[in-house]
Amino acid sequence: MKRILVFGVFVLLLAGLVACAKSPAGPEDRVKHLGSQVRCPVCRGVPISESPSTLAAQMMDVVREQVAAGKSDDEVLKYFEDRYGEWVLLQPKPEGMNLVIWVLPAFVLVGGGAGILMQLRKRRGQSSAAPAKGN
Amino acid sequence: MKKIIILLAILVPSIALLYFSLTRDPRELPSMLVGKRAPAFALETLDGKKLSLEMAHGKPLVLNFWSTWCEPCEAEYALIKRAYEALSPNGVVFYSVLYEDTTENAKAFIARNGAAAPILLDPGLKTSIDYGVSGVPETFFIDGEGTIRYKQSGVLTPDILTQNVRQIAVKGGGSQP
């Protein structure tokens, strides 16, 4: 049980480190970071920061203007959500039914890790018990 | 057997969910803007005049986003032209916003098909993005108080046009068409 808890804490720390490493630095980094969270409406699952379409390029300009105007990340994302709906956000907001999407991967990861550990422990127990029976 | 059942219990809903999400057209989702105040705009027409949402205040407004390169828009243009000619004397305002297109193309299109509602230019697609447009044709029906009452994604039919013009004419300004 102790090992499972240590494993869970390790996974959470790792996720935190990855999130910190991704934090944007300058305004253009922030624009790209925000653009990577907005779905291109005329593509399939591609963020506006990566789409070659004219609409996506113009949407990136809107993000740029709003960042320059001092809007917060939430305000910029809300602008697009208010117009195109929540599907325009590549990362659904962690609320309501969306919570399942956010919680499920961590649950599967911790649960899967715990399952593997338990299987390993079981096998180790069996292999150490087998020679004793033979002797 | 137990393992196969577990595997199927995971795989079948996952594939069904994937199929459902990949086959849904976002343009068919109801617009977030319906029931809300229409975003303000002030755009230049093909002949350099400035037209704005404010100028249509108190009158029902049919705001159509279209392009000359969009085939369905060409078919729709004939309907909008007829509606414009019949309804604008009754106070219904029609604006056609040119989406991802050039002034030259629009002028050539008008020379071929005849002039109808004023054509507004949208540099940088600012107004199109403000209205959440993701393709053409798309049409917004805005009442005299400036509230969006309906959004049509795709080609208008005479029934959709008549029904929604009637609705916005009742809800704010304009005589009954």
Model confidence over B35-89: pLDDT tens digits?
999 999 999 999 999 999 999 999 999 999 999 999 999 999 999 999 999 999 9
- pLDDT digit string (tens) for A33-52? 999 999 999 998 899 999 99
- pLDDT digit string (tens) for B97-116? 999 999 999 999 999 999 99
Q: Please give the structure tokens belonging to residue B3.
A: 């393992």
Segment A8-31 mean pLDDT: 69
Using an 8 Å CB-CB cutoff, list chain A residues near B31: 85
Lowest mean pLDDT among A31-35, A90-94, B157-161: A90-94
- Helix, strand, coil percentages, rounded to 5, for chain A: 70, 5, 25
Domain for residue A11, yes or no? Answer: no
**Structural domain count, chain B:** 1
Task: Work out the minimum CA distance from A92 to partner chain B, whole angstroms.
Answer: 14
Q: Residue B57: how many CA atoms within 13 Å on its side-chain side?
A: 8
Segment A88-110 mean pLDDT: 79
Q: E strands of chain B, at which residues?
A: 42-44, 50-52, 61-66, 93-98, 119-121, 138-142, 148-153
Q: Say whether B33 and A84 touch across the interface (CB within 8 A).
A: no
Residue A7 pLDDT level (bands cut at 50, 70, 90)? low
Using an 8 Å CB-CB cutoff, list chain A residues near B132: 83-85
The gap from C-alpha A101 to its chain's centroid, in whole angstroms, comes to 10
Residue A127 pLDDT level (bands cut at 50, 70, 90)? confident
Q: Residue A105 is part of a domain; what is its CATH number?
A: 1.10.8.640
The rounded distance, in Å, linking the Cα atoms of A105 and B34 is 35
Domain for residue B4, yes or no? Answer: no
Q: Please give the structure tokens belonging to residue A105.
A: 């991967």
Lowest mean pLDDT among A31-35, A55-59, B30-34: B30-34
Residue A134 pLDDT level (bands cut at 50, 70, 90)? very low
The rounded distance, in Å, linking the Cα atoms of B116 and B64 is 12
| 3-class state of residue B93 by DSSP | strand
Domain for residue A4, yes or no? Answer: no
Q: Residue A60: how many CA atoms within 13 Å on its side-chain side?
A: 21
Q: Measured between alpha carbons, how far is residue B161 from residues A32, B113, B132, B165 in Å?
A: 40, 20, 20, 6
pTM of the shown model = 0.77
Name the DSSP letter for residue B157.
Answer: -
Domain for residue A36, yes or no? Answer: yes
Q: Say whether A85 and B26 touch across the interface (CB within 8 A).
A: yes
pLDDT at residue number A94: 73
**Which candidate from B29, B31, B124 shows the least CB-CB separation from A61?**
B124
Q: Measured between alpha carbons, how far is residue B52 from residues A97, B57, B127 in Å?
A: 40, 9, 11
Q: Say whether A55 and B129 touch across the interface (CB within 8 A).
A: yes
Average pLDDT score, chain B: 91
Residue B14 pLDDT level (bands cut at 50, 70, 90)? confident
Answer whether A55 touches B (CB < 8 Å).
yes
pLDDT at residue number A135: 45
The rounded distance, in Å, linking the Cα atoms of B36 and B106 is 30
Domain for residue A8, yes or no? Answer: no
pLDDT at residue number B53: 98
Domain for residue B121, yes or no? Answer: yes
**Structural domain count, chain A:** 1
Given strand B93-98, what is the order of strands in its sheet?
A: B119-121, B93-98, B61-66, B138-142, B148-153
Residue B176 pLDDT > 80: no
pLDDT at residue number A9: 64
Task: Work out the minimum CA distance from A14 to partner chain B, whole angstroms.
Answer: 27
Work out the percent of chain A whose per-residue pLDDT is above 90. 47
A94-A98-A102 Cα angle (round to 5): 60
Name the DSSP letter for residue B45.
Answer: B
The rounded distance, in Å, linking the Cα atoms of B42 and B56 is 11
Please name which of A87, A88, A49 lies closest in space to residue A67, comparing C-alpha atoms. Answer: A49
pLDDT at residue number A111: 87
Work out the percent of chain B whose per-residue pLDDT is above 70. 89
Residue B177 pLDDT > 60: no
Domain for residue B31, yes or no? Answer: yes
Task: Work out the minimum CA distance from A42 to partner chain B, whole angstroms.
Answer: 6
Q: Say whether A83 and B32 touch across the interface (CB within 8 A).
A: yes
Segment B8-23 mean pLDDT: 74
Please name which of B66, B45, B40 lies closest in space to residue B55, comparing C-alpha atoms. Answer: B40
The residue range of the domain holding B45 is 27-171
Domain for residue A58, yes or no? Answer: yes
Answer whether A133 touches B (CB < 8 Å).
no
pLDDT at residue number B173: 52
Domain for residue A80, yes or no? Answer: yes
Please name which of B25, B5, B152 lies closest in space to residue B83, comparing C-alpha atoms. Answer: B152
Segment B90-98 mean pLDDT: 97
Q: Residue B94 is part of a domain; what is its CATH number?
A: 3.40.30.10
